[in-house]
Amino acid sequence: MSQPGVAIFVSVVSVWEIVLKHQAGKLLFARDLKEIVNQILYRSTWTILPISPEHLPVLASLPMLHKDLFDRLLIAQVQHTGMVILTADENIKKYGIRTIW
């Protein structure tokens, strides 16, 4: 999937969701959660996209087409940055952002 000159970002929102879903028993791993999080954050080739204050006004202006908090944060990040999001979620696509999948 990697192409020369194309940067791949992983939102800290996605990592946060992984942690919370694992802790709630909704996402299970054979490896230690801390090891997985450290791999994503510090030992992968992906750039981590933080939540920034500029994302919050965008989040506040989103219509309630999607009720999932994590997805709404991702949508706000995509709208603010102009990035493309990899998703099959039809509710995310309702926001008119660029998607792949």
pLDDT at residue number 6? 83
Question: pTM above 0.85?
Answer: yes
- The SS3 assignment for 75 reads helix
Q: What fold characterizes domain 9-100?
A: Rossmann fold (3.40.50)
Q: What is the DSSP string of 2-56?
A: --TT---EEEHHHHHHHHHHHHTTSS--SS-HHHHHHHHHHSSSSEEE---TTHH
Every domain of the chain and the residues it spans: 9-100
* CB-based contact 8:47 (threshold 8 Å): yes
Mind listing the pLDDT tens digit for each residue in 33-92? 999 999 999 999 999 999 999 999 999 999 999 999 999 999 999 999 999 999 999 999
